[in-house]
Amino acid sequence: MVAWSSLKWAVAATCAAGLTQVEALPAAASRDGTMELSSGLLRRQKNNFYTFSGVQQGLGPAPDQVPLRKEIREMIQNPTEFNLFLLALQRFYQMPQKDEKSFFGIAGIHGRPFKPWDNVPSGKGDAKSGYCTHKDVLFLPWHRPYLALYEQLVWEHARDIVNEFPEPKKAAYKAVLPTLRIPYWDWAVNSTIPDEVGTFATIKIDTPKGQQTIPNPLYSYKFTDLSEFSDFQSPYAKMNETVRYPQIVDGVYSSQIDPLNRVMENAAGSLTNTVYKILTTYKDFSGVSTSAYNRHTGRPVDSFESVHDNIHQAIGGPIGGPSGHMTDISMAAFDPIFWLHHTNIDRLFAIWQEVNPTGYNFSSTSSFGTFTMDSETPESLDTPLTPFHQTGTAFYTSATIARTQKFGYTYPETNDWNIPQQDRVKSVIAAINRIYGQDTPAGALSAALALPVPPGSNLPVMFPTNQPLNTPPPPSVLAGYKKSVVQDGKYYEWTTEIQVNHASLNGNVRVFIFLGDVPNQPNQWDTSKSFLGSFSVWTMKSNSHDAIVHGTVPLTSALLNKIVSSEVENLKRETVTPYLLKNLKCKVAGPNGIVDIKTIADLKVSVSYASVTLPKSESDAPTWDTPEVAINMIDVPKGVFTPVQN
């Protein structure tokens, strides 16, 4: 994967700007040159609703010059900033669970305990669901104000803590406070979970009272009262602490980081390829946002929601084994890693918006509904994003949250306040190519074209690597095969396209794709050498409505590895099709283990190929021709269970 040190992170200039809200907040006298805000950032209006606008500190002086949300590893490298973030989370967690502004209260907006937040009632919605929108075009827009609300409350706690430090430490923390924003975890660049998030159950921090070792607020969240889950027939209802990829010892659930990281490492290539393709190829926001079947294109495509679902399922736990909180939609937001994960999804959303400045538009219908919205509700940019109030009388909408700068933040790739308008798209594409492109077939082949053909090329090569099959060989190796793979600046991309009924198992579903032998034990599928990727259906039993969802698993990186090992000659249809008919395998798993494919409602799996033109420069994206289906692997409605050539 991309070396972490190779990423260049922009640094935003900061200033101690005051907070702007619907109704201005009173400010205390300025001390030490820094404006100190009185009371809370989140304020109730006269009609008893909370309004918020994100953290409005550290802005300017130029228009749209706002602080960056940083990758978590980048934040960790700044001990003062990271320490303040941990202190703020600790304080956030310590608030009484019954307080709507507590971490418990904010996390509960997403799902359980299924009750009104900020006096926003269920109405015509599903009272056994959360406010969150999933399998819905509102998936990306809804989570943006949700994250901004969370960020604003974290910042408020950080501000209070800074004022408790004695000098001279107080000055150091005041310096980083204005630009403090929540971090993201970019699992498509470095898929392993940092030790400070996944390994250390406790962590040593600097507090106003000196050095202390505390429960790590990024490792887990500890519940103080489980009574609100009393109606939940699940092990989660009795767990006092969130867990990831758990094991059970003497009846106690505990997180496992090593097997989880092995799963994440083996999925790395598929994640990178999929993210790169969505960012550089897909132009229809409806398809990009949600895994719900795209009625307009009529064929499976991938989405940020589909990739997002894979991360939830991976962190949740092994097939057929105990499950962690990230596995369950209604409980996921209580795991601190949820917020790192979703901040990255918001970042990818923002990057896509920059690449497609006129593409953010949609008109759709809700497939499932939410706590406040009935299914089959018409949706547009003006649909209210409940329960998030922009003013005392109006909710935020997809139109009003379109720009991250509105909430006082941006990301390294979209920090374009000093870039001319006409150059912004190319600037962002260059960043995408730099961060993700080099670990995709397009990037590796482009780099290989610039290298001389090594002596002894087209012979089997055994290059020292433990990389997954779904990651392409290095350019230095591909240079010996470029003549058989690339013609006139074009090559073929191969993709597994998957669609299935959301309600097929009345719960979570995973469709696995392998190239080669499949382990007999499903808990070994994620880490097997033949694993290429998976498509996940992330749902709740109570919300498993009939609807078609879709996703893809990329195949080209694996085929390039097979070319290098002389198992495949090139990427042409007449060469690849018979090889895939013999070696490509599909398996399906549900919450309890392996599932007979014949029982999966509406499951269709096909293999398509498309001619792709390589980028002509570092600021250009690959150009895909229309894909064609080469193989029909599975079509349950038609009774097709043996792969056949199309």
Q: pLDDT for 433-464, tens place per residue?
A: 999 999 999 999 999 999 988 776 555 555 55
Q: Which residues contact 167 (CB under 8 A, 6 or more apart)?
A: none
> Helix-strand-coil percent breakdown of the chain, rounded to 5?
35, 20, 50
Q: Where are the chain's structural domains? A: 4-424, 440-645
Separation of CA 343 from chain center: 7
271-292 residue pLDDT tens: 999 999 999 999 989 889 988 7
Coil, helix or strand at residue 390: coil
Which pLDDT does position 28 carry in this prediction? 29
- Measured CA to CA, the distance from residue 70 to residue 545 in angstroms comes to 37
Q: Are strands 548-554 and 644-645 parallel, antiparallel or unpaired?
A: unpaired
Q: Which residues contact 89 (CB under 8 A, 6 or more apart)?
A: 103, 154, 157, 217, 218, 336
Q: Which residues contact 464 (CB under 8 A, 6 or more apart)?
A: none
Q: Which residues contact 108 (CB under 8 A, 6 or more apart)?
A: 115, 117, 130, 228, 333
Q: Scanning the structure block, which residue is given the tokens 């009529």?
A: 298
**Residue 74 vs residues 11, 113, 281: alpha-carbon distances, Å:** 11, 34, 28
259, two tokens = 């097997």
Q: Which residues of the chain have pLDDT under 50?
A: 1-40
- Measured CA to CA, the distance from residue 472 to residue 494 in angstroms comes to 13
Residue 432, judged by CB atoms within 10 A of its CB (0-12, 13-18, 19+), counts as: buried
Question: Rg of the Cα trace of the chain?
Answer: 24
159, two tokens = 């501000």
Which pLDDT does position 32 carry in this prediction? 32
pTM: 0.91
3-state secondary structure 78-102: CHHHHHHHHHHHHHHHHCCCCCCCC
Superfamily of domain 4-424: Di-copper center containing domain from catechol oxidase (1.10.1280.10)
Amino acid (one-letter) located at 553: V
Q: Write down the CATH number for the domain with range 440-645.
A: 2.60.310.10
**Residue 31 vs residues 19, 27, 207: alpha-carbon distances, Å:** 16, 11, 21
Q: Do residues 147 and 349 lie in contact, with contact meaning Cβ atoms separated by under 8 Å? A: no
Amino acid (one-letter) located at 121: P
539, two tokens = 């749902």
Of the candidates 213, 214, 220, 217, the one whose C-alpha atom is nearest the C-alpha of residue 241 is 220
Torsion of CA 235, 236, 237, 239, to 10 degrees: 100
Separation of CA 151 from chain center: 17
| DSSP letter string, 564-607 | HTTS---S-HHHHHHHHHHHEEEEEEETTEEE-GGGSTT-EEEE
Q: Do residues 220 and 242 lie in contact, with contact meaning Cβ atoms separated by under 8 Å? A: yes
Q: Scanning the structure block, which residue is given the tokens 């600037």?
A: 427
**Residue 369 vs residues 134, 137, 399, 400: alpha-carbon distances, Å:** 9, 11, 20, 21
Residue 318 DSSP label? -
* Phi and psi angles of residue 202, each rounded to the nearest 5 degrees, phi first: -125, 160
- Measured CA to CA, the distance from residue 30 to residue 616 in angstroms comes to 54
Q: Do residues 269 and 468 lie in contact, with contact meaning Cβ atoms separated by under 8 Å? A: yes
Q: Which residues contact 227 (CB under 8 A, 6 or more apart)?
A: none
**Residue 196 vs residues 68, 183, 257, 284: alpha-carbon distances, Å:** 21, 13, 11, 37
Q: Scanning the structure block, which residue is given the tokens 């989660």?
A: 236
Kindly report whether the peptide bond that precedes residue 26 is cis, defined as omega within 30 degrees of 0. no
490, two tokens = 């074009």
Residue 518, judged by CB atoms within 10 A of its CB (0-12, 13-18, 19+), counts as: middle
Dihedral over Cα of 321, 327, 330, 331: its sign: positive
Length of the chain: 646
